[in-house]
Structure 1
């Protein structure tokens, strides 16, 4: 059996690493299962892409479509054109897409038009906010997927409401957490740790990249000023996404406790999160990692496709509402943040379950 695995952006790499390892292990056991890794090139900054292959010990891609930047439509079209040629030249039995980036949706569409079955890892998650490009990607991908690998009971319920047969839904857990658990002993201090005089639980981590927070300069400026003011007793480490960096240049946001740093690799960034007092973010994936590491997480969004991180974990949603942000900081700085628990099956074994299900489906 031949599987084509698609990775397009930073969150995908953490998800494919344990799946590839599990396939390799099954192949060593004598199972007829092979994979071909296709990198669409949707993320092409070194710290957003190639560094992850090195750190997570992912084999180099068999193909790189080198799509790079562009509008949503331009990226989608370029990925589809490139992936169609890839499948023509390298036929397979199954295309596996992960997450909810543009590559996920585009490659799923191409596969189905080529009469190839699609497996979606992290299927069924929904925020209910169709202003998010990722929500459109999720909806379209799941509408044509054959095999749905889910991270939570909420995702299962979403799929069942859509009429997906329970026999095609596989509750396997969270592959991103597989990667986190495997690498927890390899996490390393960022190079700036000593220079900024950081110490455990004495600093905050902030990430911002969503259009709702960074595209409107007035909103972005107010957000940063409020967060820096509320967290004035702590250094705030802000790894700046290339997209956000362009917007910050003209805002003149210079504060003693705000430290802009380059995008970090996986091992350094998660060391930073693991030892922080809290994370302020608008990323979905970081809320999952913070929950497993039991780090308070303030999410600058009104909705989440990962409700388990709020209902069970350490995450709360504040949007960009000044009052909610203020209340969250009060709770954090008073030391009364809620204690979280790890969601079901977030145990480091999700990828093994996925590969085992595929073997059973294809009777390898």
Structure 2
């Protein structure tokens, strides 16, 4: 029973690593091959990245990047289809909401190959986001929808998935599995003093001068109270330089996953526009200020572990002041018990054994 896993970005590899370990432990009859579209070129994804994290190296590499959404998705669709025809997998496994996710799902569906979607049911309800379009379309054509939260299950119910020939399962979040697994290897702090960890990478913030200015101005002021550390993508750094924006906080080069886990684990607070980092903050007992107007992880906001501040400088500062000295007490466990990958592997095994 062959599985083709389609991935395109570093966070997807980290998620897939947990499921790959569970698939290997589950059944020797399950053979997984990994297809890397190359969507996100990442200098940290060297051979060392795969070795350090115990992630299987891709069996196929497409190197499809630096294109517009249509050209990128179209080329991926063509090349993934060719591989699926040659490999004849029993199922295609996709993660999240990238163009690679959608291309993998479309290629499989048109070849009548079952699709399993990990992180199904998430919604920002902002249809202007490319990720929202990708996740909605991928969900609609998937056969196994592995939801990370009960809210995700409810989203699919509201969209009528009860009447669609598919299975919707709340298995918990594979990112939680990964965080628990990799945190065991973190022994020493990467930064000794107290600090706030921040990231800025979403186009809605980096490509809007007023939003980017508001975020940076807030971080500069917070840096007067406590060190602010920002691993910064080269694209965001170039925009900041081109706009000649004053930056008073500490900028780091992009860091690998293990270094990022270290930074989260020992931070005093997280300020981010990253979806994954919002959850990882919670995993490691940190409050989060989110510099977006909406989030897919609504349970974090509902239970006051996360404040949506948008890009408004005053709102970011107000949120920081509310959370920076607030004791963290975990009152809920919305992302499962750290066994999500095991549940996914078992379900795929039973699905393919029918």
Aligned equivalent of 2:345:
355
Alignment partner for residue 66 of structure 2, among 50, 53, 69? 69
1:133–1:173: structure 2 CA closer, same or farther, 3 Å change rule?
same
Structure 1 residue 14 displacement after superposition: 1.5
CA shift digits 1:27-79 (9 cap, x unpaired): 34xxx211111111112222257554233211111101111222112211121
Q: Matched residues in 1 for 2:338 and 2:304: separation?
A: 17
The answer (yes or no) to whether the contact 2:19–2:341 under 8 Å persists in 1 is yes
Structure 1 residue 329 displacement after superposition: 1.8
The answer (yes or no) to whether the contact 2:90–2:352 under 8 Å persists in 1 is no
Q: Matched residues in 2 for 1:99 and 1:273: separation?
A: 22
Q: Matched residues in 2 for 1:290 and 1:108: separation?
A: 30
The answer to which of 311-320 and 137-146 deviates more is 311-320
CA shift digits 1:302-333 (9 cap, x unpaired): 11111122224621111112332121022134
Q: What secondary structure is seen at the aligned counterpart in 2 of 1:160?
A: helix
1:68–1:290: structure 2 CA closer, same or farther, 3 Å change rule?
same
CA shift digits 1:124-149 (9 cap, x unpaired): 01010011111011111011111100
CA shift digits 1:333-352 (9 cap, x unpaired): 4x236634453353220000
Q: What secondary structure is seen at the aligned counterpart in 1 of 2:18?
A: helix
Structure 1 residue 190 displacement after superposition: 7.5
Matches within 5 A, 1:153-168: 153-165=150-162, 168=167
Q: What secondary structure is seen at the aligned counterpart in 1 of 2:139?
A: helix
Whether 2:144 is the aligned partner of 1:147: answer yes
The answer (yes or no) to whether the contact 2:97–2:131 under 8 Å persists in 1 is yes
Matches within 5 A, 1:181-200: 181-187=180-186, 193=191, 198-199=192-193
Structure 1 residue 358 displacement after superposition: 1.4
Alignment partner for residue 284 of structure 1, among 255, 259, 275? 275
Whether 2:209 is the aligned partner of 1:210: answer no
Whether 2:12 is the aligned partner of 1:19: answer no
Alignment partner for residue 232 of structure 2, among 217, 235, 240? 240
Q: Matched residues in 2 for 1:344 and 1:325: separation?
A: 25
Give ranges in structure 2 of 5+ residues lacking alignment.
none
The answer (yes or no) to whether the contact 1:190–1:268 under 8 Å persists in 2 is no
RMSD: 2.0
Tell me how many residue pairs correspond in the alignment.
Answer: 352
Using structure 2 for the length normalisation, give the TM-score: 0.93
Whether 2:169 is the aligned partner of 1:170: answer yes
Aligned equivalent of 1:41:
38
